[in-house]
Amino acid sequence: MNRRNAVLALALTAALGLGSAARAADDNTVYLDTKDGRVTIELRPEIAPKHAQQLKTLINQGFYNGLKFHRVMDGFMAQTGDPNGNGTGGSSLPNIPAEFTAAPFKRGTVGMARSSDPNSANSQFFICLGDASFLNGQYTVVGTVTSGMDVVDKIKKAAPGAPGGAVQNPDKIVKMQMAAKAK
């Protein structure tokens, strides 16, 4: 194989996701399945290592399977990760200190939900349905949706004027898994 063909073969391997760099990315790739399809999320451990690790731990435990999108506000965000289904609960793992960065909250950004205490993130997270720059520097960016925003857009939203964006008979996460361990 000549040098040109070798370079083309390497480029094709990388483009098809067959190279070692692409496989390494799967360590931070999450599949979130809903009744309407799959959302692929790329975690951002380079900016939020503790939050990314907490999500990975909970995903690997099956924690998110069956949880409701309890708070969904049209044009803003879809929130999930509460075993109580109403925004008051979390996992048995400790809360995580804030990891605020300059990464902006825009459509497709995955952020960690928290109480008024910046160091209270635990298991709840949200996916931005639109740009939300007012969250910049106040919440932790933990990931980005890389495909499936059309699926996110189909998540049942709260009725207009619903207190806190609470959804009646909300959609659920069917299954959430790390891509490297996906079945």
Tell me what pLDDT residue 182 has: 87
The continuous run of DSSP H or E covering 34 comes out as: strand 29-34
The continuous run of DSSP H or E covering 61 comes out as: helix 49-61
Tell me what pLDDT residue 183 has: 75
Handedness of CA 86, 89, 91, 97 (dihedral sign): positive
Distances (CA, A) of 84 to 74, 87, 125: 22, 7, 14
Tell me what pLDDT residue 82 has: 98
183 residues of the chain, pLDDT tens digit each: 444 444 334 343 444 444 433 444 479 999 999 999 999 999 999 999 999 999 999 999 999 999 999 999 999 999 999 999 999 999 999 999 999 999 999 999 999 999 999 999 999 999 999 999 999 999 999 999 999 999 999 999 999 999 999 999 999 999 999 999 887
The residue type of 78 is A
Handedness of CA 147, 28, 33, 82 (dihedral sign): negative
Task: Report long-range pairs for 40-45 (Cβ below 8 Å, ≥24 apart).
Answer: 40/145, 40/146, 40/147, 40/148, 40/179, 41/110, 41/127, 41/143, 41/144, 41/145, 41/146, 42/143, 42/144, 42/146, 43/110, 43/142, 43/143, 44/103, 44/141, 44/142, 44/143, 44/144
Tell me what pLDDT residue 26 has: 79
